A = this chain, B = another copy of it.
Amino acid sequence: MADWKAAAAEKRQSLVNLIPTEWVIPAPPPPDAQRDVTGDYVRQYLTEDEVSITESEVPTILRHIHQGQWKARDVAAAFCHRAALAHQLTNCLHEIFFDAALHDAHALDDHFAATGKLKGPLHGLPISLKDQFHVKGVETTMGYVGWIGTFQGEKGTGKEKVFESELVQELRDLGAIFYCKTSVPHTLMSGETINNIIGYVPNPKNRLLSAGGSSGGEGALLGLRGSCLGVGTDIGGSVRFPSAFNGLYGLRPSSGRLPYEGMANSMDGQNTVLSVLGPMAHSVDAVKLFTESVLSKQPWLHDPLVVEIPWRESVFQSTLNNSKPMVFGVLANDGQVSVQPPVERALRRVADVVKSLGHTLIEWDPPSHERATELAYGAYILDGGRDIFESFALSNEPMSNQVAQMYGREPKPESTASQVAALNVKKRAYQKEYMEYWNSTSKLNDLQEPVTAVIAPISAFAAPTPEKFHYYGYATFVNVLDYSSVVIPVTHCDKDIDVFDDRYVPMNSIDEQTWKDYDADTYHGAPVGVQLVGRRLRRKRYLRWQQ
């Protein structure tokens, strides 16, 4: 027992040691003393220039660097500083490599000064990465104590601290700067972020709540503007939860769109429901720029699972300039768990805006999402938990309650190949049924067009309080269908508007639990987002409609 605690403490302290003394917050306030550490709170530790840089949007940052007004080194330094503050307030980092960032930024500045040429479209842009990406010079623990000092739990592979994931190589080629990797729940299989190395990641806008997971470190870091663009992954909502919970835009593309090659992962090779990576940021522009830039690297030449579909600017522009009315589905309630008042209001607001723009809304009444959730969970536990229990066993560290909620405390029997195949067939049948429902919506509206996108909650709440993430069904159907989804920030919880509905009659026990978990005072101030769900590989078509 002592061993894993010591190893975790050492790793935790090693991060603190990498924060320059002048950036240390002497006595960070506890969450109940200072719920919201964003905005003015965090700004008190920053210079005016640092605030100006870190609160600029990605296109502005790039323009300033590319036109010579800002140095890449100053931009990198500002984000390093703010990330260091963010970590002290939310435990959002697993790896800190500010030195490497500043070194790389200097090199870019020198190159630009000497040649007048940019390395690429992302020249000088700091990008934060979830701790599944391998970056040279640092390790990847994915929140496991047993992975410290190893390559994905193995020692002596020769890849330790030298191997880089495909996307990292591509972003580097595009000119990006890396400076930190962000925290995750061990196993990645939770909508909250907790592990035995860095502890719990609270929501910076309201630290009584979760920052979400599994890309929760990204969510918190971005929420505090310690990053302007981050990359997360999503197998059951893990990009979208922290995006929504922290007031961000977040994209979960279909699988085969962006390169996952060379990433650390849980249950690697489980290919019934695939994890995908996606950008998280403060604007659609940043999300678009990321996607367009990565596709310009032709990732299909370096990742066997990526399909060759280049960025189609013309499709993007035609959608943007499209004045034709479209049809949107609205999923207000999935019939399993009702959403809490702030989410209900956010959905209504988006629906109202869409309607006011002249689009048609229809009620989204698809094949049961309960079946989708069953399929997703079926995929997550095909190996009975073997992969994750092996990783825990490396150090004998305990599993968090959040993860135990899905996997239990002991491995279960593995599925057989026949059972894996049967699940794949069931999933395909569900996908087929769902797509035909989608097709059929052209008969349900006057425009006689099928729905372009579905406006849906991403969770029943703005964000859960710790250990209260009981229902994933609003997220997982997207993963089972392999649809694309983009989260957009909509509003904030307001205790005066979003009052507890004490007359609500729950549909079942999880619904009851979720209903009772809402407390207007506790939730006050938390961001609320919703998702727009599009068909497979189709996100570009509507990425920007909402602006």
Contact = CB atoms under 8 A, between A and B. Distances in A.
Interface of A: 256, 261, 267-272, 300-305, 307-309, 382-384, 386-387, 414-425, 428, 431-432, 435-436, 439, 481-482, 536-538
B424 A271 contact: yes
A245 to B, nearest CB: 30
A533 to B, nearest CB: 15
A148 to B, nearest CB: 23
B304 A536 contact: yes
Contact of A305 (B268, B270, B428): B428
A199 B542 CA distance: 55
A416 B383 contact: yes
Contacts of A302: 432, 435-436, 439
B418 A417 contact: no
Contacts of A261: 428, 432
Given A269-B428, A301-B439, A383-B421, 20 more contacts: A256-B307, A261-B432, A267-B421, A268-B421, A268-B425, A271-B271, A271-B424, A300-B536, A301-B435, A302-B432, A302-B439, A303-B432, A304-B432, A304-B536, A307-B536, A308-B536, A308-B537, A414-B417, A416-B417, A417-B419
Contacts of A271: 271-272, 421, 424
Nearest to A439: B301
8 contacts: A269-B421, A303-B432, A304-B428, A304-B432, A305-B428, A307-B307, A383-B416, A387-B418
Nearest to A166: B432
B418 A386 contact: yes
Nearest to A300: B536
A457 B387 CA distance: 40
Contacts of A300: 536
Contacts of A481: 304
